[in-house]
């Protein structure tokens, strides 16, 4: 008789945002007249930029002609897109070659899949709170150990608490990890680290022989000069870091799907095995490439016109973030983030648990956010709101919370 993958049985409940969706759906069914404002999931609300739409139309027309039709995409992605990405890195002083860039259907997929090229007994370090995909994908791969209910954590993971006391910045763990997940600007806290701080992590990883999996999905929201847009701005990062990037939050591709991962050729394991070659093998075996139409649209993002238009959209969401941050602060909440990221991390009032505050907002003012405890034990008594709603709905949501 067949047996299921036992590692999956260690997963705790359903995926965080699936749980939220079910709770909201149940409340909506019971209260059909409730005007619910969703500031929970990080989904964009502004339409694709005009330059991107124009390129999509052109690419669709190309697919309707024999001489310009395209089938399977190249394993790494079309060269026109990878060249544009490499040029963007070069503009930041990062030497990344075209063949070190792997185009995919989004950062979430790559964040979950990248762990496949590492050994099953690799020791994993995650920030706490953390984007759930990093944890769950390693649970599925068998690296987690057992779930400890009293501590709300897995026995084999190394948790790096990010709390008010350390300004939500992880400290080097006492136990040396093999894989270190870092996400900056951070999801869920919306906080950042300076280039000097990131350089310390690069030096640390090179010193102990670890690899950093660096999620830079929100780099377009960086406003402060000392905050790095890429880990490859740090000296030595090519020998210890893989970077994952997305088109979802900078160009609104959440429903279109496009991302990429950079794996430098200099990056090798303890036995000299090239991680670039392993990821290329995995990519070619399990993925048939993002559609030509989507990659053509993605390339426009790096043109002057595309940059101008997506900067306007990013500014729109940054304005929302300021509305949320200032409004909550005026109402007496303790708030973080929102400066270099589209997320605001707030402390729940009256020592309420994260889920108690979720229910409070949903039932009393019909606003949906994300409970901090869903991101890890250090997220308890915190709550995340996203700036990706419309400006009008964002203002209304904060007005409701302030009046609560």
Cβ density class 359-383: b for 16+ within 10 Å, e for less? ebbbeebbbbbbbbbbbbebbbbbb
Residue 65: CB atoms within 10 A of its CB come to 8
Query: Are residues 157 and 207 part of one domain?
Result: yes
**Residue 148: per-residue pLDDT:** 96
Q: How far is CA 342 from the centre of its chain?
A: 11
Query: Are residues 245 and 118 part of one domain?
Result: yes
**Residue 178: per-residue pLDDT:** 98
**Residue 17: per-residue pLDDT:** 81
Domain that holds residue 27: 6-46+305-403
Residue 232: CB atoms within 10 A of its CB come to 24
DSSP character string of 92-125: TT----GGGEEEES-HHHHHHHGGGGS-TT--EE
Is residue 1, in this structure, part of any structural domain at all? no
Is residue 256, in this structure, part of any structural domain at all? yes
Residue 157: which CATH number? Answer: 3.40.640.10
Q: What is the per-residue pLDDT across 278-317, written as a single tens digit (0 to 9) for each?
A: 999 999 999 999 999 999 999 999 999 999 999 999 999 9
Query: Are residues 104 and 15 part of one domain?
Result: no
- Quick one: tokens of 35? 């005007």
Query: Are residues 238 and 191 part of one domain?
Result: yes
Query: What's this model's pTM, rounded to 2 decimal places?
Result: 0.96
Q: Is 282 exposed, middle or buried (0-12, 13-18, 19+ CB in 10 A)?
A: middle
Query: Are residues 117 and 10 part of one domain?
Result: no
Q: What is the per-residue pLDDT across 178-188, written as a single tens digit (0 to 9) for each?
A: 999 999 999 99
User: What residue ranges of the chain have pLDDT lower than 70?
Assistant: none
Query: Are residues 237 and 102 part of one domain?
Result: yes
Q: What is the per-residue pLDDT across 1-27, written as a single tens digit (0 to 9) for each?
A: 999 999 999 998 777 888 888 999 999
Is residue 207, in this structure, part of any structural domain at all? yes
**Residue 15: per-residue pLDDT:** 73
Map residue 270 onto helix, strand or coil. coil
Q: Are strands 259-262 and 101-104 parallel, antiparallel or unpaired?
A: antiparallel
Report the domain count for the chain.
Answer: 2
Query: Are residues 255 and 123 part of one domain?
Result: yes
Query: Are residues 329 and 292 part of one domain?
Result: no
Taking a C-beta distance cutoff of 8 angstroms, is the pair 118, 273 a contact?
Answer: no
Query: Are residues 38 and 58 part of one domain?
Result: no
Residue 78's DSSP bridge partners are: none
Query: Are residues 143 and 168 part of one domain?
Result: yes
Of 302, 319, 354, the domain-final residue: 302
Residue 211: CB atoms within 10 A of its CB come to 23
Query: Are residues 269 and 171 part of one domain?
Result: yes
Residue 92's DSSP bridge partners are: none
Query: Are residues 288 and 216 part of one domain?
Result: yes
**Residue 269: per-residue pLDDT:** 97
CA 388 to CA 43: how far, in whole Å?
A: 6
Q: How far is CA 223 from CA 243, 293, 327, 339, in A?
A: 20, 31, 20, 7
Residue 33: which CATH number? Answer: 3.90.1150.10
Taking a C-beta distance cutoff of 8 angstroms, is the pair 376, 32 a contact?
Answer: no
């Amino acid at each position: 008789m067949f047996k299921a993958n036992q590692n999956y049985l260690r997963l705790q409940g359903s995926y965080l945002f699936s749980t939220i969706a079910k709770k909201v759906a149940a409340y909506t069914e019971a209260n059909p007249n409730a005007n619910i404002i969703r500031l929970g999931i990080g989904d964009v609300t502004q339409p694709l930029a005009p330059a991107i739409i124009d390129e999509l139309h052109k690419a669709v027309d190309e697919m309707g002609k024999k001489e310009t039709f395209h089938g399977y995409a190249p394993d790494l992605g079309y060269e026109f897109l990878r060249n544009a990405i490499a040029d963007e890195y070069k503009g930041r002083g990062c030497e990344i070659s075209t063949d070190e860039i792997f185009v995919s259907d989004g950062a979430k997929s790559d964040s979950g899949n990248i762990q496949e090229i590492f050994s099953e007994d690799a020791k994993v370090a995650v920030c706490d709170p953390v984007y759930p995909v990093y944890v769950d994908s390693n649970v599925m791969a068998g690296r987690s150990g057992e779930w400890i209910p009293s501590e709300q954590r897995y026995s084999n993971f190394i948790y790096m608490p990010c709390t008010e006391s350390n300004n939500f910045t992880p400290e080097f763990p006492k136990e040396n990890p093999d894989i270190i997940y870092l996400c900056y600007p951070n999801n869920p806290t919306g906080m950042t680290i300076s280039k000097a701080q990131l350089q310390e992590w690069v030096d640390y990883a090179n010193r102990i022989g670890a690899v950093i999996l660096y999620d830079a999905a929100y780099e377009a929201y960086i406003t402060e000069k000392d905050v790095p847009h890429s880990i490859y701005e740090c000296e030595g990062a090519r020998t210890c870091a893989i970077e994952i990037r997305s088109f979802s939050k900078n160009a609104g591709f959440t429903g279109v799907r496009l991302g990429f991962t950079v794996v430098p050729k200099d990056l090798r394991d303890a036995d000299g095995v090239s991680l670039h070659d392993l990821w290329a093998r995995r990519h070619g075996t399990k993925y048939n490439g993002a559609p030509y139409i989507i990659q053509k649209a993605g390339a426009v993002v790096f043109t002057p016109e595309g940059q101008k238009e997506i900067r306007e959209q990013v500014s729109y969401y940054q304005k929302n973030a300021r509305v949320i941050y200032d409004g909550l602060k005026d109402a007496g909440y303790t708030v973080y983030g929102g400066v270099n990221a589209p997320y605001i991390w707030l402390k729940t009032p009256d020592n309420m648990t994260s889920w108690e505050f979720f229910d409070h907002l949903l039932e009393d003012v019909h606003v949906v956010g994300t409970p901090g405890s869903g991101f890890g034990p250090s997220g308890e008594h915190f709550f995340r709101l996203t700036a990706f709603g419309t400006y009008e709905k964002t203002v209304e949501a904060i007005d409701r919370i302030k009046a609560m």
